[in-house]
């Protein structure tokens, strides 16, 4: 995209005047398919159905904005869609607010917007309203995006810490740590054998299947910042029970494992953008794994642990036969991961 000979974002693109209108009409409306958005009124107006709704918001500041397997735009859609999905909701609408640095190439912005549109198409959601601001060069690192999402809670779904009991099984839908390693390698120029791709993906498809087939799901969480270990600790602390994880059962692919070992990182604390944890009744655990494995985002799903009586701790049974206490992540090894 090139506007009147200009190929970078200018301060005037955010002043609400002619260039802002050019940006909206020539870029955003070209890629975001929504009749609600096209009204360009001050607020998106839409009808709602009966039942409960969920709403969530998140801001995305990943560095670099383009990484193997995705970019900040795809991340901004998938991250908010996934927060709704693991809450038992069917995502419907998103908002998108862009804060841009003066001088950002318009081609980069268009690539990011195209990526957002693609992710919306896969997830089946619409961006129905948004905002654009531009700040002076040097006052921001290229582009930050905020997305807010709303969705309908599936009828009969009741997820929460209050439902977790001793004996429940802990599941994940696949290999951990890919997003964290992909962003880290791109940021610092590491070139490990076999490039690791981010797992960034909308999870609402696999989760809707799971909720349809499995009635015994107690809670779900996506494994973003802090990874599996931090999420497990948050759940254990909230319900006052212990979670025991089996290192031999936790999937980590060879590329992530090799890079993590070289960099001194623990894959259990690395960020993911297409993985989630499920806690389910023991009677339905195997069926839940089978349902997840039937979806392309759950091919490597498995049972990785169990809930036991306790005081809110997380223990890892290591491959060497020992036991390791897992706590919350203390200081991120990689800030600006999402």
No. of helices (H) and no. of strands (E), the chain: 10, 13
What angle in degrees, to the nearest 10, is found between the helix axes of 285-293 and 204-213? 140
Per-residue pLDDT at 195 = 82
Q: How far is 202 from 115, CA to CA, in rounded Å?
A: 13
Residue holding tokens 């909206």? 24
For 164-197, write each residue's pLDDT tens digit: 999 999 999 999 999 999 999 999 998 875 789 9
pTM of structure: 0.96
Residues 54-91: b if buried by 16+ CB within 10 A, e if exposed: bebebebbbeebbbbbbbbbbbbbbbbbbbbbbbbbbb
Per-residue pLDDT at 49 = 86
> What is the sign of the dihedral through the CA atoms of 269, 275, 280 and 282?
negative
Per-residue pLDDT at 330 = 86
Q: How far is 178 from 238, CA to CA, in rounded Å?
A: 27
Q: Residues in the chain with pLDDT < 50?
A: none
Q: How far is 16 from 7, CA to CA, in rounded Å?
A: 19
Per-residue pLDDT at 2 = 56
Six-digit token pair at 332? 């991120």
């Amino acid at each position: 995209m090139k506007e009147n000979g200009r190929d970078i974002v200018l301060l005037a693109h955010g002043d609400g005047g002619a260039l802002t209108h050019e940006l909206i009409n020539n870029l955003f409306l070209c890629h975001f398919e929504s009749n609600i958005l096209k009204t360009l009124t001050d607020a998106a107006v839409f009808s709602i159905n009966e039942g409960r709704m969920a709403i969530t918001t998140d801001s995305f500041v990943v560095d670099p904005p383009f990484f193997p397997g995705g970019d900040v735009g795809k991340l901004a859609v998938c991250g908010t869609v996934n927060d709704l999905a693991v809450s038992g909701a069917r995502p419907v609408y998103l908002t998108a607010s862009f804060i841009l640095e003066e001088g950002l190439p318009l081609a980069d912005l268009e690539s990011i917007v195209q990526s957002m549109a693609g992710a919306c198409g896969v997830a089946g959601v619409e961006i129905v309203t948004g905002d654009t601001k531009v700040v002076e060069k040097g006052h921001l690192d290229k582009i930050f995006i905020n997305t807010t999402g709303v969705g309908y809670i599936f009828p009969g779904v009741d997820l929460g810490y209050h439902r977790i009991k001793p004996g429940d099984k802990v599941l994940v839908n696949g290999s951990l740590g890919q997003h964290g390693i992909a962003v880290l390698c791109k940021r610092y120029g590491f070139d490990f054998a076999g490039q690791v791709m981010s797992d960034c993906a909308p999870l609402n498809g696999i989760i809707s299947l799971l909720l349809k087939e499995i009635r015994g799901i107690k809670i779900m969480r996506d494994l973003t910042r802090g990874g599996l270990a931090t999420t497990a600790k948050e759940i254990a602390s909230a319900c006052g029970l212990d979670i025991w994880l089996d290192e031999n059962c936790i999937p980590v692919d060879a590329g992530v494992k090799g890079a993590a070992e070289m960099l001194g990182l623990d894959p259990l604390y690395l960020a993911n953008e297409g993985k989630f944890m499920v806690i389910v009744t023991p009677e339905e655990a195997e069926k839940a794994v089978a349902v997840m494995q039937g979806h392309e985002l759950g091919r490597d799903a498995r049972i990785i642990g169990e809930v036991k009586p306790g005081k809110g701790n997380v223990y890892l049974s290591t491959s060497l036969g020992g036991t390791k206490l897992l706590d919350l992540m203390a200081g991120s090894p990689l800030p600006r991961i999402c």
